[in-house]
Amino acid sequence: MRTRTPMTGIMLAALMSLGPGMAHAEVPETRQAELMHLLTQDCGSCHGLKRRGGLGPALTPEALTGKPAVMLREVILHGLPGTAMPPWKNFMSTQEADWMVQMLLEGRTDAP
């Protein structure tokens, strides 16, 4: 059990279904605050409050340089089986995960 299953299939499918227009995911402001709280506190328990890493790797813009946003979003939604990274799809929609990736890539810690 807990073996790493290949993610490539899912990611390819996701890549193909997605145009370049994901940069501005639309998420209501109150929800943004909740998501930012989740990102800081709950993701923070493994990735650090300041995203500089812990049991999980750093999620700072520098650390994520060159990693496709869609791939990151899929990791957040489905986790990485066989590792400690869990799937968060029951906590957020695809659009909300896109927004979270945007916050990570821009290094933003403030909710509007």
Instruction: Summarize as ranges the residues that interact with other proteins (CB under 8 A).
Output: 1-2, 37, 41-42, 44-46, 48-50, 52-55, 79, 82, 84, 86-88, 90-91
Q: Between 5 and 12, whose beta carbon lies closer to other proteins?
A: 5
Burial 63-85 (b: 16+ CB within 10 A, else e): ebeeeebbbbbbbbbbbbeeeeb
Name the minimum Å distance from CB 14 to ligand HEC: 14
Name the minimum Å distance from CB 73 to ligand HEC: 8
Burial class (CB in 10 A: 0-12, 13-18, 19+), 90: exposed
**Which stretches does DSSP call E strand in the chain?**
none
What is the C-alpha to C-alpha distance for residues 10 and 111, in angstroms, rounded to an integer?
30
Closest CA to 93 of 81, 109, 77, 106: 77
| 27 in contact with ligand HEC (CB under 6 A) | no
Q: Between 10 and 18, whose beta carbon lies closer to other proteins?
A: 10
Q: Which of 40, 51, 88, 102 binds ligand HEC (CB under 6 A)?
A: 88
Site string for ligand HEC, 38-67 (x = CB under 6 A): xx--xx-xxx-------xxx-x----x--x
